[in-house]
């Protein structure tokens, strides 16, 4: 895979899956624009720049429409375009439905679904002008299986599939592909927050017998972003060790 001459924007790229996706795309030659709620750690920038590619970083809340438009404009001014968009930023606010507060529902919808709308809306114009682009949305296995305590989160992750499939039908003739990656349970801060018995219960459902690693997801994203995946659109790549 070769991403020389391309620029990739990855949201929620400060740590976890997003950071690993950014490093992976840089290894294959892409210039990188990182966006995250908090300023990106210098170590992350260094790790990306070691690949000899350009690395821009922005403090960005994906729910803030004006800030999104301003960051996207800056990236395009600086690099000439955005060729790959990875909508990775996501949060959880778990609670059983009977106890779920309206703000827990609204905050998760705002980041995981509205954020994807704002960033994609802002980037798509430049992709249409380029007659090429790759949009990859990070969904989740729980968007398909459901999960107690995650009515809010799983609704957003299912919602992303409708978003992916519908948008892929609108922009296919413009040379833009839109796909989703649905990770299973991956070793990150998000899953380390689960207690020992929750982790064991999850492991018992995974035929491959282990949690996924961030690289497992980054490899799938890199493939969907590549030229090699140019005839794949509107689909979901499940990376979950066979659990669903």
CB of 227 to ligand NDP, least distance (A): 25
User: Is the separation of the CB atoms in 243 and 205 below 8 Å?
Assistant: yes
Strands, sheet with 236-239, edge to edge from the N-terminal-most edge strand: 55-59, 31-36, 7-11, 84-87, 133-138, 176-183, 236-239
91 or 128: whose CB is closer to ligand NDP? Answer: 91
Length of the chain in terms of residues written: 244
Exactly one of 53, 57, 90, 179 binds ligand NDP (CB under 6 A); that residue is 90
Nearer to ligand NDP, 107 or 132 (CB): 107
Closest CA to 22 of 1, 7, 4: 7
The verdict on whether 153 is a catalytic residue reads: yes
3-state secondary structure of 7: strand
Determine the straight-line distance between the first and last CA of the chain, rounded to whole angstroms.
28
How open is the CA angle 30-35-150, to the nearest 5 degrees? 115
* Partners of 84 in the β-ladder: 8, 134
How crowded is residue 22: how many other Cβ atoms within 10 Å of its Cβ?
A: 30
Among 8, 9, 10, 17, binds ligand NDP (CB under 6 A): 17
Q: How far is the CB of 5 from ligand NDP (least distance, A)?
A: 26
Residue 31 in contact with ligand NDP, rule: CB under 6 A: no
d(CA 160, CA 82): 21
Residue 112: CB minimum distance to ligand NDP, A: 6
Under rule CB under 6 A, residue 191 binds ligand NDP: yes
Residues 56 to 75 in contact with ligand NDP, rule: CB under 6 A? 60-63
Residue 86 touches ligand NDP, criterion: CB under 6 A: no
Q: Does 188 bind ligand NDP (CB under 6 A)?
A: yes
Q: Which of residues 97-126 bind ligand NDP (CB under 6 A)?
A: 111, 115
User: Which residues contact ligand NDP (rule: CB under 6 A)?
Assistant: 11-12, 14-18, 36-38, 60-63, 88-91, 111, 115, 138, 140, 183, 185-186, 188-191
Active site residues: 153
């Amino acid at each position: 895979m070769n991403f020389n001459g391309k620029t990739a924007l990855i949201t929620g790229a400060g740590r976890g899956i997003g950071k690993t996706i950014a490093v992976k795309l840089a290894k294959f030659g892409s210039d990188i624009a990182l966006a995250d709620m908090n300023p990106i750690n210098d170590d992350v920038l260094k790790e990306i720049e070691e690949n000899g590619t350009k690395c821009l970083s922005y403090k960005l809340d994906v729910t803030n429409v004006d800030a999104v438009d301003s960051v996207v404009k800056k990236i395009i001014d600086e690099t000439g375009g955005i060729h790959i968009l990875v909508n990775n930023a996501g949060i959880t606010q778990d609670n059983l439905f009977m106890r779920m507060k309206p703000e827990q529902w609204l905050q998760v919808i705002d980041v995981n679904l509205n954020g994807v709308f704002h960033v994609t809306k802002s980037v798509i114009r430049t992709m249409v002008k380029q007659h090429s682009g790759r949009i990859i949305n990070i969904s989740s296995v729980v968007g398909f299986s459901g999960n107690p305590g995650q009515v809010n989160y799983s609704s957003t992750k299912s919602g992303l599939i409708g978003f992916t499939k519908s948008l892929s039908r609108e922009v296919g003739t413009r040379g833009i592909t839109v796909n989703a990656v649905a990770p299973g349970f991956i070793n990150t801060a998000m899953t380390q927050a689960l207690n020992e018995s929750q982790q064991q219960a999850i492991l018992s459902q995974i035929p491959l017998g282990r949690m996924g690693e961030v690289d497992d997801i980054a490899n799938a994203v890199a493939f969907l972003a590549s030229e090699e995946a140019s005839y794949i659109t509107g689909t979901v790549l499940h990376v979950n060790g066979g659990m669903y």
